[in-house]
């Protein structure tokens, strides 16, 4: 039984530092256009930044659980930010990246195992669940800061588009995560406040919650409403549809670098 968190339990993983290094180098390549393919640089920058956000998402869950009473978190390696320590690396890393590549949507993850029996108090349980998507919200605020602060002078267009697309991913991830659907963080926020009977009735749906959400999003009308809401939030943060569109076009480097019109809004 784990009784204390050691320095080794808290040490940042070289795997995570490597991903951050890729993000920094590719971000520099996008900014300076120092790359044979600008699109490939955008792909590396956005993908590595997206993985970093996924790691921070899971870290937020783990760190909040630690301070709420689950001291087993340290021994599981969750505080190292190493994505290979997650119980479902496929769900937390591989699938989210594939969904970004295929559809430009931020897929919610969920791979840290928290021993809920160690934690007392409904507010603590709710906060643990909310910590992850709140990280996506914070990441979106950081990505859009140059837009809503009016600090885009001197920022290369392609880097601006990459930030806009990355912000789109963070906003979609935050919205989807906060949906009160079994299996998603939003349900985890309200679950402690539900009756035992209701929790037992919806518990079997948890493994299929994410599939249910994407099944519903496949309906054209729902899909349009969802992305209209995402676009409204991004516009409020200063990010235009022009930014996110061209960001995604550059991201799909396998289609060739896009020919952006010379005059931009």
Q: How far apart are the first and last CA of the chain?
A: 59
- CA-nearest of 209, 112, 34 to 42 is 34
3-state DSSP percent of the chain in helix, strand and coil, to 5: 75, 0, 25
Report the candidate in 209, 211, 135 with the shortest Cα–Cα distance to residue 174.
135
Quote the CA–CA distance of 63 and 79 in Å, as a whole number: 7
Q: Which of 58, 115, 191, 203 is catalytic?
A: 58
Specify whether 58 is catalytic: yes
Tokens of 31: 């900014």
If you write DSSP's letter for every residue of 85-106 in order, what string do you get? GSTTHIIIIIHHHHHHHHH---
Under DSSP, is residue 181 helix (H, G, I), strand (E, B) or coil?
A: coil
Instruction: Give CA separation, 7 vs 74, 103, 104, 191, 203, in Å.
Output: 10, 40, 38, 33, 37
CA 50/CA 42 separation, integer angstroms: 12
The first and second tokens of residue 34, run together, are 């120092």
Q: Positive or negative CA dihedral for 196, 202, 203, 206?
A: negative
6 CB neighbour count, 10 Å cutoff: 10
Q: Which residues are catalytic?
A: 58
């Amino acid at each position: 039984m784990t009784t204390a968190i050691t320095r080794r339990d808290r040490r940042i993983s070289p795997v995570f530092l490597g991903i951050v290094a890729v993000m920094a180098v590719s971000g520099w390549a996008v900014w300076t256009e120092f790359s044979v393919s600008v699109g490939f640089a955008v792909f590396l920058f956005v993908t590595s930044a997206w993985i970093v956000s996924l790691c921070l998402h899971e870290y937020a869950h783990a760190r909040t659980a630690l301070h709420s009473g689950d001291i087993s978190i340290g021994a599981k390696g969750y505080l190292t930010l190493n994505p290979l320590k997650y119980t479902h690396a496929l769900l937390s890393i591989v699938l989210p990246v594939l969904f970004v590549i295929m559809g430009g949507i931020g897929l919610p993850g969920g791979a840290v195992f928290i021993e809920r029996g160690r934690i007392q108090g409904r507010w603590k349980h709710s906060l643990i669940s909310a910590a992850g998507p709140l990280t996506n919200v914070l990441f979106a605020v950081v990505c859009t800061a140059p837009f809503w602060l009016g600090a885009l002078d001197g920022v290369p267009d392609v880097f601006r588009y990459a930030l806009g697309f990355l912000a789109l991913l963070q906003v979609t991830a935050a919205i989807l995560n906060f949906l009160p659907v079994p299996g998603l963080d939003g349900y985890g926020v309200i679950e402690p406040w539900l009756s035992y009977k209701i929790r037992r009735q919806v518990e079997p749906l948890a493994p299929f919650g994410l599939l249910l959400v994407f099944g519903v999003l496949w309906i054209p009308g729902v899909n349009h409403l969802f992305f209209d809401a995402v676009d409204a939030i991004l516009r409020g943060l200063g990010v235009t549809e022009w930014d996110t569109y061209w960001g995604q076009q550059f991201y799909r480097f396998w289609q060739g670098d896009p020919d952006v019109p010379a005059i931009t809004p």
